């Protein structure tokens, strides 16, 4: 059988999509982790930031030499970048045989065949219905402990800086029956943790004659499938963090006490230009509700530095929110204008790059302090850790994560990946906890 090599860039959704692609092609190709042995190389891309696209262009140039050495090798581009740039990619990247957008993966067998016989092809048609809900993903390049389960696709929020609604289409939720069947299979296969995925996962909604399924109800049903199964979710929008959802997370011990709650900015003026549909006060109200119901809950966030029209005062307000929330972790970026978005059409990218960099550095420095303070508060505490594997730094140490999504490293014992172990924290860095088993 021919060999398939997949490289995935970007978010968790892309990794989940690559598993769907592997399932669609499993009767044609066997997966390989050696690109030199591949008959087909697929690059699954991200378009969220310009730097991500530049990285893909560089990688495609590197693949040209591989293709010259391996006669008959095909190279295909998948994902958001494929959707966004379409024909332009086939004209500017001669190494490509075909491209497929996020809703076109079922057409891959035909695209592969057609490109072999008649030259470069593409399919980037968006769908209002495609959720791949009848495809059981092929779990590859995983630790056998944690898995992603996509429960919806697309986004209706249209944040002014974001390409996702244009590259992945409008929101559509997946049937709960197929979601639960996938989780059941993961339990059967020995997985101990699932992360329910969606661009805006907490807006999940399904209605049929038997009744309606909100995201909070779905989380509860999944949690009840096994007390040994940890349940996480990503990524959420502040407008959809309902009291029902917060109360559900608090009620179940095996729903992890960790919420990724992107703020993007602490300034109401900037949030309005971003079309984020909430104010700073509303956001902080959700944070207070989370901390009231779950004092032990960790909160992480996304922050954009230097968005269109952002003033020094706006930036100061973002730092103020960071201090007030005390985030455990943050994904922090400079604003990168994306063609076709509302912000590119409506607003000037008027914060100089050097000033964006300065503000980003301040944000990163502050988050380092907050992460360290958070980890120092965990000193002496005992956490139930799900073992994921061997530490990269030492074969004598294992690592896993606690409910709050913090990595904890501890001395190797008899535990195996997938086991739970109680660990007492004895030391820390801003990024990692260290401990001893109890």
What confidence tens digit (pLDDT) does each residue in 174-229 have?
999 999 999 999 999 999 999 999 999 999 999 988 789 999 999 999 999 999 99
Helices (H), 41-175: 50-69, 80-85, 87-92, 108-118, 164-168
Residue 71 confidence (pLDDT): 87
Q: Which is more confident, 349 or 141?
A: 349
Closest CA to 19 of 146, 110, 114, 115: 146
Kindly tell me if the per-residue pLDDT of 332 is higher than 80.
yes
Q: Which is more confident, 87 or 357?
A: 357
Kindly tell me if the per-residue pLDDT of 280 is higher than 90.
yes
CA distance 364 to 410: 27
Residue 325 confidence (pLDDT): 98
* Per-residue model confidence as pLDDT tens digits over 21-41: 999 999 999 999 999 999 999
Residue 16 confidence (pLDDT): 94
Half-sphere exposure of 114 (CA within 13 A, CB side): 13
Helices (H), 252-352: 268-274, 280-293, 312-325, 342-346
Token pair of 294 as six digits: 């779950």
- What the chain holds in terms of domains, given with CATH numbers, is 2-123 (3.40.50.12160), 146-377 (3.80.30.20), 382-437 (2.40.50.140)
Q: Which is more confident, 137 or 52?
A: 137
Kindly tell me if the per-residue pLDDT of 47 is higher than 80.
no
Residue 141 confidence (pLDDT): 78
Strands 433-437 and 420-428: antiparallel
Kindly tell me if the per-residue pLDDT of 11 is higher than 90.
no
Kindly tell me if the per-residue pLDDT of 146 is higher than 90.
yes
Confidence of residue 52 (pLDDT cuts 50, 70, 90): confident
Rounded to an integer, the average pLDDT of 360-379 is: 98
Residue 53 confidence (pLDDT): 84
Confidence of residue 264 (pLDDT cuts 50, 70, 90): very high
CA distance 79 to 100: 7
Give the lowest-confidence range in 118-132, 224-238, 260-274.
118-132
CA 337 vs CA 45, 180, 353: distances in Å = 18, 39, 12
* Per-residue model confidence as pLDDT tens digits over 396-410: 999 999 999 999 999
CA 311 vs CA 127, 282, 314: distances in Å = 39, 22, 5
Contact predicate 401/391, CB 8 Å: no
Rounded to an integer, the average pLDDT of 108-132 is: 92
Kindly tell me if the per-residue pLDDT of 51 is higher than 80.
no
Closest CA to 193 of 432, 423, 417: 417
Contact predicate 301/271, CB 8 Å: no
Give the lowest-confidence range in 41-50, 273-282, 316-325.
41-50
Strand arrangement, sheet containing 329-334: 258-260, 298-305, 329-334
- Residues above pLDDT 70, as percent of the chain: 100
Residue 118 confidence (pLDDT): 86
Residue 84 confidence (pLDDT): 81
Q: E strand or H helix at 98, and its extent?
A: strand 98-100
Rounded to an integer, the average pLDDT of 145-161 is: 95
Q: What angle do CA 30, 33, 34 make, to 5 degrees?
A: 100
Residue 50 confidence (pLDDT): 75
Which residue's entry shows tokens 């380092």? Answer: 368
Residue 54 confidence (pLDDT): 86
Kindly tell me if the per-residue pLDDT of 117 is higher than 90.
no
Residue 86 confidence (pLDDT): 74
Residue 228 confidence (pLDDT): 96
For the chain, the average pLDDT equals 95
Confidence of residue 83 (pLDDT cuts 50, 70, 90): confident
Kindly tell me if the per-residue pLDDT of 413 is higher than 90.
yes
Helices (H), 294-396: 312-325, 342-346, 353-377
Cis bond leading into 251, ω under 30°? no
Residue 82 confidence (pLDDT): 82
Closest CA to 298 of 373, 388, 349, 213: 373
* Per-residue model confidence as pLDDT tens digits over 237-259: 999 999 999 999 999 999 999 99
């Amino acid at each position: 059988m021919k060999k398939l090599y997949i490289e995935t860039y970007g978010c968790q959704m892309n990794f989940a999509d690559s598993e769907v692609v592997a399932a669609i092609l499993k009767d044609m190709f066997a997966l390989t982790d050696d690109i030199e042995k591949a008959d087909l190389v697929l690059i699954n891309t991200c378009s969220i930031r310009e730097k991500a696209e530049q990285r893909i262009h560089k990688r495609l140039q590197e693949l040209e030499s591989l293709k010259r050495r391996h006669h008959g090798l095909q190279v295909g581009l998948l994902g958001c970048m494929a959707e966004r740039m379409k024909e332009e990619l086939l004209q500017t990247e001669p190494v490509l045989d075909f491209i497929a957008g996020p809703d076109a993966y079922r057409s891959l067998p035909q695209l592969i065949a057609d490109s072999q016989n008649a030259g470069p092809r593409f399919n980037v048609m968006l769908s209002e219905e495609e959720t791949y809900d009848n495809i059981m993903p092929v779990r590859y390049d995983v630790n056998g402990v944690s898995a992603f389960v996509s429960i919806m696709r697309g986004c209706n929020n249209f944040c002014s800086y974001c390409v996702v609604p244009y590259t992945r289409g409008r929101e559509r939720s997946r049937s709960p029956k197929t979601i639960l069947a996938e989780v059941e299979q993961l339990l059967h296969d020995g997985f101990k943790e699932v992360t329910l995925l969606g661009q805006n996962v907490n807006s999940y909604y399904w209605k049929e004659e038997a009744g309606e399924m909100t995201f909070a109800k779905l989380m509860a049903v999944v949690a009840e499938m096994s007390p040994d199964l940890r349940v996480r979710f990503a990524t959420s929008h502040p407008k959809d963090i309902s009291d029902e959802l917060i109360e559900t997370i608090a009620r179940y011990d095996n729903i992890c006490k960790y919420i990724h709650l992107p703020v993007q900015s602490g300034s109401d003026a900037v949030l309005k230009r971003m079309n984020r549909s909430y104010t700073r006060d509303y956001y902080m109200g959700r944070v207070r509700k989370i901390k009231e119901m779950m004092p032990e809950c960790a909160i992480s966030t996304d922050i954009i530095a230097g968005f269109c029209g952002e003033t020094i005062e706006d930036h100061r307000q973002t730092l103020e929110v960071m201090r007030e929330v005390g985030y455990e972790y943050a994904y922090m970026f400079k604003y990168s204008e994306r063609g076709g978005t509302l912000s590119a059409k409506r607003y000037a990218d008027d914060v100089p790059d050097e000033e964006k960099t300065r503000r980003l550095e301040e944000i990163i420095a502050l988050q380092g302090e907050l992460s360290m303070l958070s980890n120092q508060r965990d000193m002496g505490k005992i956490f139930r850790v799900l073992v994921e594997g061997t530490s990269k730094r030492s074969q004598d140490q294992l690592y896993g994560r606690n409910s709050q999504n913090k990595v904890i490293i501890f001395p190797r014992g008899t535990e195996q990946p997938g086991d739970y172990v109680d660990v007492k924290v004895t030391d820390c860095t801003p990024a990692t906890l260290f401990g001893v088993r109890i």
